Amino acid sequence: MLTPLRLAVLVVLFCAFPAAAADRTIYLTFDDGPLTGTSNILDVLEAEQVPAAMFMVGMHAQASAANKALVQRARNMPLVTIGNHSYSHAYNHYQHFYSDTEGVVADMLRANAVLGLKPAVHARLPGRDVFRLPSMSKDDNSLGLAKEGREDPDYEFVAASGFYLYGWDHEWVHENSGKPVQSVDRLVSEIDHLFSYGQFVKPGKLILLMHDEMFQDVFNGKANLTALITALKLRRYAFGAITGYDG
């Protein structure tokens, strides 16, 4: 029940932030599933009715019957876009992986087959903040000169093989265990700060990178994701489907 005090607080929050608009859109994206934590993510997305992209790893999808069921559950949710995050996740040996562009494409196509995806496929390369979309392109600025020549992938060739490649604007960071680093309040503060400066790949559109393993029960994953979405709704951000990001 809303007490007068609670109602007053909600009115203040409502008035403190501008109305949701095209220049305040957040794209929720989750990498590396299906894993422990994926089910909690899907529960929250269903309850909150917000869109999200799930960039999945083919090898993880094949790991168990339970994981295959999670892929199918995500596929059946209209607000969820299943994306390709490679078959092998480069076996976490990124420089070796990206030294062979044709090998990258073969790995991505293998994931398409496992995940049941057909071109044009929304995809995210493992470990690389790279965009290749019809209206724009961006390389991973953190790599320097292609890791000093140790990798030089032809991202245009990858994209031309049937992939729209998405990087990200901000990350909810996690420890090696999967435990989130920022609190929900801290992350929301960072997002507010970013929107105040507007430094995004596409104006007014923030792609938020998260990983499925962060949302395990041991990390209060369902409660944390619910709290994040609730806080962003209170600030009147819009939530976008990745399929409309380049529109």
Q: What local confidence, expressed as pLDDT, does residue 145 receive?
A: 59
Domains of the chain: 17-244 (3.20.20.370)
What are the tens digits of pLDDT across the range 154-205? 999 999 999 999 999 999 999 999 999 999 999 999 999 999 998 899 999 9
Q: What local confidence, expressed as pLDDT, does residue 141 receive?
A: 83
Angle 184-202-189 (CA atoms, 0-180°, nearest 5)? 20
Distances (CA, A) of 5 to 1, 197, 227: 11, 33, 21
The pLDDT-based confidence of 6 (bands split at 50, 70, 90) is very low
The pLDDT-based confidence of 152 (bands split at 50, 70, 90) is confident
What are the tens digits of pLDDT across the range 57-76? 999 999 999 999 999 999 99
What are the tens digits of pLDDT across the range 85-110? 999 999 999 989 999 999 999 999 99
Assess contact for 79 and 45: CB atoms under 8 A: yes
Stretch 116-123: mean pLDDT, rounded? Answer: 95
The full 3-state SS of 51-69, as one line of letters, equals: CEEEEECHHHHCCCHHHHH
197 three-state secondary structure: helix
Cα separation, 137 vs 133, in Å, equals 6
Assess contact for 131 and 201: CB atoms under 8 A: yes
Stretch 121-131: mean pLDDT, rounded? Answer: 97
The pLDDT-based confidence of 247 (bands split at 50, 70, 90) is confident
Least confident of 10-24, 187-201, 216-230: 10-24
Q: What local confidence, expressed as pLDDT, does residue 2 receive?
A: 40
The pLDDT-based confidence of 10 (bands split at 50, 70, 90) is very low
Where would I find the beta strands (DSSP E) of 35-154?
A: 52-56, 80-84, 121-123, 131-133, 136-138
Greatest Cα-to-Cα distance within the chain, rounded to the nearest angstrom:
64
